[in-house]
């Protein structure tokens, strides 16, 4: 095997220290170190991992208007979210730089460019230099997520060079959006990263489908969340624990090859770091018959226009 054509990718399937930004980031930093020890050039974590997915919404009457309970939980969620401009991810960037490992990380972003009080489900890419190279805010939150997350934009629909690969990614159900996927394919993506809050019912089908469609490697990484992961110190902890399912997110992290075959089948119900070596030559072999952004496309018939401007409510001209 030609070592220049390969990279190692780590799939970090872990539970957050739920609704605690600092403790979850500390845990993530240790798993990045472990992935670097295994020789990984990239390590991927699940959607919304920092500080955690809002599992309480569908279990505590989250759609009730002017609910003091929901206001209290939302306020805590905002206080524990990630503000990139405040340096909340600086330690992760430092580890990435020191260990020369790139990181895809699912965060709940408190966006200062949108006033600082609304939350976005953001997929952050930290490159091997420790630089935040893109922040993709989820285009459309799903179902109850819309009660706590705002709608994102196209600014983060970007790809990045990583060894012989061009890597890009999407959050959770965005991976079902044909045009979102096409926007990454058009930029040369051949390693697709899909991050999920966690359940193999999602990853089992779409992971292999995207790989077969794009003739790319697809890495799906999910989180875990169990009743036992709810800290007793949280506001309304007793209610949160009583209303929780024993398992709310069971994982399901997996990897498919450009043929759509499994390299790693979905793994559930446990925290673990899986490491897979990917050979870029397999992409080139499979693109011989199908390249959806290249020789098998018809831009004279159908083309996609993508608005990557970061959306703001005001532009100031001083």
Going from the first residue of the chain to its last (318 residues), give the mean pLDDT of each consecutive group of 10, the final group possibly shorter. 82 98 98 98 98 97 97 98 98 98 98 95 98 98 97 98 98 98 98 97 97 98 97 96 97 98 97 98 97 97 97 92
Cα 152–159–108 angle (5° rounding)? 35
The predicted structure's pLDDT at residue 1: 43
Which domains are assigned to the chain? 3-287 (3.60.110.10)
Question: How far lies 252's CA from each of 163, 174, 264, in Å?
Answer: 26, 17, 10
Element of type H or E holding 27 = helix 21-37
Gap between the Cα atoms of 219 and 257, Å rounded: 9
pTM: 0.96
Question: Can you name the residues that pair with 102 across neighbouring β-strands?
Answer: 42
Would you say 214 and 189 are in contact if contact means Cβ atoms under 8 Å apart? yes
Structure tokens at 154: 């196209």
Gap between the Cα atoms of 245 and 39, Å rounded: 36
Structure tokens at 12: 């970090």
Would you say 7 and 163 are in contact if contact means Cβ atoms under 8 Å apart? yes
The predicted structure's pLDDT at residue 3: 56
């Amino acid at each position: 095997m030609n070592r220049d054509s390969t990279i190692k990718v780590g799939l970090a399937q872990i539970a957050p220290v739920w609704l605690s930004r600092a403790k979850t980031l500390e845990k993530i930093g240790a798993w990045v170190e472990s992935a670097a020890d295994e020789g990984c050039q990239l390590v991927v974590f699940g959607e919304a991992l920092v500080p955690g997915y809002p599992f309480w919404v569908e279990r505590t009457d989250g759609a009730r208007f002017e609910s003091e309970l929901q206001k209290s939980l939302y306020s805590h969620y905002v206080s524990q979210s990630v503000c990139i401009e405040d340096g909340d991810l600086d330690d992760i960037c430092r580890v990435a730089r020191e260990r020369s490992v790139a990181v895809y990380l699912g965060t709940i972003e408190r966006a200062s460019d949108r006033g600082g009080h609304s939350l976005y489900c953001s997929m952050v890419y930290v490159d091997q230099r420790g630089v935040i190279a893109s922040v993709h805010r989820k285009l459309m939150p799903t179902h109850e997520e819309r009660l706590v997350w705002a709608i994102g934009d196209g600014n983060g629909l970007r790809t990045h060079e990583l060894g012989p690969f061009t890597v890009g990614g999407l959050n959770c159900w965005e991976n079902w959006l044909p045009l979102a996927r096409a926007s990454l394919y058009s930029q040369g993506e051949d390693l697709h990263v899909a991050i999920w809050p966690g359940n193999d019912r999602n990853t089992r089908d779409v992971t292999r489908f995207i790989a077969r469609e794009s003739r790319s490697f697809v890495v799906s990484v999910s989180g875990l969340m169990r009743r036992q992961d709810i800290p007793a110190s949280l506001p309304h902890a007793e209610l949160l624990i009583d209303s929780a399912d024993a398992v709310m997110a069971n994982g399901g992290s997996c990897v498919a090859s450009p043929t759509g075959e499994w390299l790693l089948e979905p793994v559930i119900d446990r925290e673990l770091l899986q490491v897979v070596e990917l050979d870029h030559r397999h992409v080139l072999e499979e693109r011989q018959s199908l390249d959806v952004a290249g020789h098998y496309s018809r831009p004279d018939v159908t083309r996609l226009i993508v608005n990557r401007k970061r959306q703001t409510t005001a532009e100031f001209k001083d």
